[in-house]
């Protein structure tokens, strides 16, 4: 599933913050540990690109997830943690309020973060976070589960 430009919000959680992760058909059930919550990435609207592309590896269908998020310098202070090298699960909200989950506990998404200085006065200045991961399910619809 490739969704470009339709993402209005992006959040993440670290693998160690997940208490329970389940998959049922095309839905993901994510329960975070006590006192944990999804962390917002303060991305510029229209600057979130994420897609899962299916391909076969031998007899197995594998989805490669790739994407980028641009965080303007003015919003960078709202990013609480340097994500570079961290393994995460991503939750995005689309314009129709559908939520999709990328990655899982066994196959998390790797984040790579870099600062960007423009080569021209009108170029982008800020931080770019790149995402890469592989799994056997691609993007899943988020299904809310009431924690017990």
Q: In this predicted model, what pLDDT tens digit does every residue of 55-69 receive, in sequence order? A: 998 999 999 999 999
How far, in Å, CA of 96 to CA of 94, rounded?
A: 5
Question: What is the per-residue pLDDT for 5?
Answer: 46
Q: Per-residue pLDDT for 74 more than 60?
A: yes
Q: Per-residue pLDDT for 34 more than 90?
A: yes
Beta strands in 5-144 (DSSP E): 7-14, 18-24, 27-32, 39-40, 48-57, 60-72, 87-94, 99-102, 109-116, 126-135, 140-143
pTM over 0.75: yes
The SS3 assignment for 135 reads strand
């Amino acid at each position: 599933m490739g969704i470009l430009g339709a993402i209005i919000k992006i959040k993440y959680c670290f693998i160690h913050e997940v208490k329970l992760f389940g998959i049922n058909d095309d839905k993901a059930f994510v329960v975070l540990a006590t006192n944990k919550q999804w962390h917002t990435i303060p991305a510029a609207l229209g600057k979130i690109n994420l897609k899962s592309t299916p391909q076969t590896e031998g007899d197995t269908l594998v989805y490669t997830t790739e994407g980028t998020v641009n965080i303007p310098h003015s919003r960078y202070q709202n990013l609480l943690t340097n994500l570079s090298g961290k393994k995460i699960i991503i939750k995005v909200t689309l314009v129709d309020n559908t939520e999709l989950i990328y990655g899982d506990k066994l196959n998390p998404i790797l984040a790579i973060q870099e600062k960007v200085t423009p080569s021209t006065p009108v170029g982008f200045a800020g931080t770019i976070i790149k995402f890469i991961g592989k799994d056997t399910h691609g993007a899943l619809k988020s299904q809310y589960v009431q924690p017990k």
